[in-house]
Amino acid sequence: MRKTSGYTSTTNLLCAAAFILTTLVSSCHKEISTANQTGSTASGNFSQVFEDFWTNMNNSYVFWSIDTTNWDRMHSIYSPLFTKLNLYDSADNITAISYFKSMVDGLVDSHYTLFPGGGIIQPAHDRKLKNPQFIENIFQTAPYSPSVDGRFYYTDAIDSLYLSSKVVGIDTTSASQNVYAITGTISNTNIQYFAFNKFALVAEYQGGSRKIKAVLDTFFNSLTSTSVSGIIIDLRGNGGGDISDLNFLVGRFISSPLNIGYTRSKNGNGRLDYTPWAPAIVTPVAGSAAYTKPIVVLADGESVSMAEITTMALKQLPNTTIVGDTTWGANGPLTINSDFNAGSFNFGNVTTNIETGATSYYGNAYTSSTMFKYIDGNIYEGKGFPPDYDIKVALNQVFLRNNFVDDPQLDKAVTLIH
């Protein structure tokens, strides 16, 4: 995932990457810098693997001030259990993964992804699947994953059944991971609709799909059109992406810098060794004017990371209304540990090549490097950002590709403008 600073900050430490937002669903298993990590000595037993993991979490996890997990208790419970395991026994490795899962099950970081010994653990996703109202459960009979053209379930029928005119862009190259964007006019209205499935807008605009650039140009031109009565930005199902899109998109709706909240990271190994809160600022695009017409943002439980931050940023404008469902609740960035003295790390040095010095680790932990506090003083990590109009959907209300009934969330957005 591309990592670029998306706003300015009064603290130089946080300026470089304070909102390097990546999505939970697009995280990949890769090596992470070992700078500023402890416990990186050679090891061949589960006791060392456990201690390395526990210590790195103790030092690098950024949410200890709001997390309810008793990390000392985790050590007391699981240290003797890991001591009994054999690192080179396949059955014990399966047992170890179950222990890791129990340890991190309640973590508030909703980006958190743990890769222990080839397994994958995503606590936030596991918790959400227990909720019958979670969008994945509601759409469990639908093709939840995007198809080859990158479309999600919401945009499958909107282009043909809601829009009287439209411009569609699709980039199916592997580097772009199937980017889809659409804009058009809601039938029988002067409302401009805009949807895209991930934040890769800058990359697409500057050197990606010409069709997606055409979508973006059409939408950007609508912001100054006298015939457009308002806009709908559909971020439902959007898994987030590149932070540089924040200024690129939201910066077109403002004429002066917009403070959307504050960030802080760690300045020491203590659990509560935090940097001061630093303002998070969205910068306007050169020549942009304040947008004064109605804006409706559609968001839901699958709106993650940059989709949430963008929703929250637009909500700071007096003419914005949020419709849909509470967002995922992952507001912090993921980057290498050395950037902020916090965040993602490898753990469990199980072997080191004497000739090359290359190290193999038992696992990786992907965890946020920075905590975000919204301008209203609330931290929405693990909770999600609530809509102004909470409109739930059910299978007998919405469309499933070729079986269209209705889209009550979009309907509400139209009535708020039309």
The winner for highest mean pLDDT among 33-47, 283-297, 404-418 is 283-297
Q: Are residues 393 and 244 in the same domain?
A: yes
Residue 77 lies in a domain: yes
Average pLDDT over residues 322-349: 84
User: Do residues 118 and 152 both lie within one domain?
Assistant: no
Asked if residue 186 belongs to a domain, the reply is yes
Q: Are residues 185 and 302 in the same domain?
A: yes
Give the Cα separation of 193 and 263 in Å (integer). 32
Contact partners, residue 152, CB within 8 Å, separation at least 6: 146, 180, 197, 236, 237, 238, 302
The answer to whether residues 356 and 400 belong to one domain is: no
CA distances in angstroms from 414 to 124, 301, 309, 407, listed in the order given: 32, 21, 23, 11
Placement of tokens 């490795």 in the chain: 93
Q: What pLDDT does 305 receive?
A: 94
* pLDDT level of residue 32 (50, 70, 90 thresholds): very low
96 and 78, same domain (yes or no): yes
* Residue 9 lies inside a defined structural domain of this protein: no
Q: Is the pLDDT of residue 234 over 90?
A: yes
Convert the pLDDT of each residue in 118-171 to its tens digit: 899 999 999 988 887 777 766 655 444 444 444 445 556 677 778 888 888 888
Please report whether residue 11 resides in a domain. no
The confidence score (pLDDT) of residue 410 equals 92
In the predicted model, what is the mean pLDDT of residues 13-41? 35
Count of CB atoms within 10 A of residue 257's CB?
13
Q: Which domain holds residue 73?
A: 16-130+333-366
The proportion of the chain whose per-residue pLDDT surpasses 70, expressed as a percent, equals: 78
State the DSSP code for 22: -
Per-residue pLDDT band for 371 (boundaries 50, 70, 90) equals very high
Check whether residue 167 and residue 31 sit in a common domain: no
Q: Taking residues 241-248, report their average pLDDT.
A: 93
- How much is the pLDDT for 80? 98
Question: Do 269 and 284 have their domain in common?
Answer: yes
Of the ranges 230-239, 262-271, 329-338, which one carries the lowest mean pLDDT score? 329-338
Residue 8 located in a structural domain: no
Task: Kindly state whether residues 166 and 126 are assigned to the same domain.
Answer: no
Sheet of 191-196, strands arranged across: 163-171, 179-186, 191-196, 230-234, 295-299, 320-324, 389-390
The pLDDT of residue 403: 58
Give pLDDT, residue 2: 31
**pLDDT tens per residue across span 273-309:** 999 999 999 999 999 999 999 999 999 988 999 999 9
State whether 145 and 125 are in the same domain. no
240 and 337 co-located in one domain = no
Lowest mean pLDDT across 88-92, 258-262, 359-363: 359-363
Q: Is the pLDDT of residue 98 over 60?
A: yes
Pick from 186, 376, 189, 145: which is nearest to 298 by CA?
A: 186
The count of structural domains within the chain is 2
The pLDDT assigned to 155 comes to 55
Average pLDDT of the segment spanning 171-195: 87
Average pLDDT over the chain reads 83
pLDDT, residue 221, reads: 97
d(CA 50, CA 362): 10
Closest CA to 264 of 9, 2, 5: 9
> What average pLDDT does this structure show over 77-104?
96
